[in-house]
Amino acid sequence: MREAKPSRPPVRRARRALIPYLLTFPGVLWLALFFAAPLVFTLLFTFYEGSLDFGYSFTSSWPSTYLEAFRQYDTQIVRSLIYGVIVTVATLVISYPMMYWIAMRGGRRKNLYLLLILLPFFTPFLIRTLSWQFVLADEGILLGTLKNVGILSDDFRLLATPVAVLSGMTYNFLPFMALPLYVALEKLDLALLDAAADLYSSKTQAFLKVTLPLSLPGVFAGSLLTFIPTVGDFIDSQLLGGTNTTMIGNVVVRELLVNGDYPTGTALSFILIAGILIGVFFYARALGTEELTG
């Protein structure tokens, strides 16, 4: 008769149970110090009124700060959300075919193709945006050439228009959509496509029934990684846009750093956060995150 193995001592079991918490403690501490704490202190500013010159005092009518900020800058808030949706859709339309071809047809040169796509993004964000100023300038490489050959009129311009801002943001945030898509498509089991062909499915049907549903996790992740920073972006609008393309990020920067109106600036920040969270929630429900993670 085999002897039963002795149970582990309670102290040893307790130590093993603590290992996951000890491993995650540095990350949790880092987030608490540099994310949660600043966020809480920022939120507290929405409960005050005043200015840097005359000081701040607590106010019980803090909801009016949010209402007034939203009424005053509702156009910029809505514009930022619309721009975020447009850029997310544009990056998806541009990057999906590229990543599909690399994942399915790239062969041994997949890494090289990915490097070529990502190579421009090794330069700083600001430098890339400034380069678009030269490309879209009235007499720049693109428009200057088209005007010289008579395709465009001399008064045609792109800078300080929504087209310039959306083009710059689409270019700058393209990798945020492309890389999650590539990961999802790279993991696709090609045997499923062969099975679809054996069942007399056309290439279009196989794509719609097999490839696209299985790549939805990449679409979901890429959409979040693109939409969230796009809505809060202010550099592209500042350098490529004009007064009719001001986004909420530009307003927040101006209120905090120029006007010193911390209550309004922080209120706008949290309105933006709330709007993004609501949009992400409905997007996740529509796309079905339960099925994506199952």
Given this model, what pLDDT does residue 7 score? 53
Q: Is the pLDDT of residue 227 over 80?
A: yes
- Mean pLDDT for 238-251 is 91
Which residue ranges make up each domain of the chain? 73-135+162-293
Residue that wins the pLDDT comparison between 184 and 18: 184
Q: Is the pLDDT of residue 1 over 60?
A: no
175/183 Cα distance (integer angstroms) = 12
Given this model, what pLDDT does residue 294 score? 47
- Mean pLDDT for 288-293 is 54
**Average pLDDT over the chain, rounded to an integer:** 85
Residue that wins the pLDDT comparison between 230 and 49: 230
pLDDT digits (tens, 9 = 90+) for 155-184: 888 888 999 999 999 999 999 999 999 999
Q: Is the pLDDT of residue 287 over 80?
A: no
48/56 Cα distance (integer angstroms) = 6
Residue that wins the pLDDT comparison between 43 and 5: 43
CATH number 3.40.980.10 is the correct assignment for the domain at 73-135+162-293: no
Given this model, what pLDDT does residue 226 score? 94
- Mean pLDDT for 82-104 is 94
Q: Is the pLDDT of residue 134 over 60?
A: yes
Question: What string of DSSP letters covers the chain?
Answer: -PPPPPPPPHHHHHHHHHHHHHHHHHHHHHHIIIIIHHHHHHHHHTTEEEETTTEEEE-S-HHHHHHHHHHHHHHHHHHHHHHHHHHHHHHHHHHHHHHHHHHHH-GGGHHHHHHHHHGGGGS-HHHHHHHHHHHHSTTSHHHHHHHHTTSS-TT---TTSHHHHHHHHHHHTHHHHHHHHHHHHHT--HHHHHHHHHTT--HHHHIIIIIHHHTHHHHHHHHHHHHHHHHT--HHHHHH--GGG--HHHHHHIIIIIS--HHHHHHHHHHHHHHHHHHHHHHHHHHTHHHHH-
8-22, 37-51, 120-134, range with greatest mean pLDDT:
120-134
What is this structure's pTM?
0.84
pLDDT digits (tens, 9 = 90+) for 34-89: 988 888 888 888 888 877 777 777 777 777 888 888 999 999 999 999 999 999 99
Percent of the chain with pLDDT over 70: 94
Given this model, what pLDDT does residue 290 score? 52
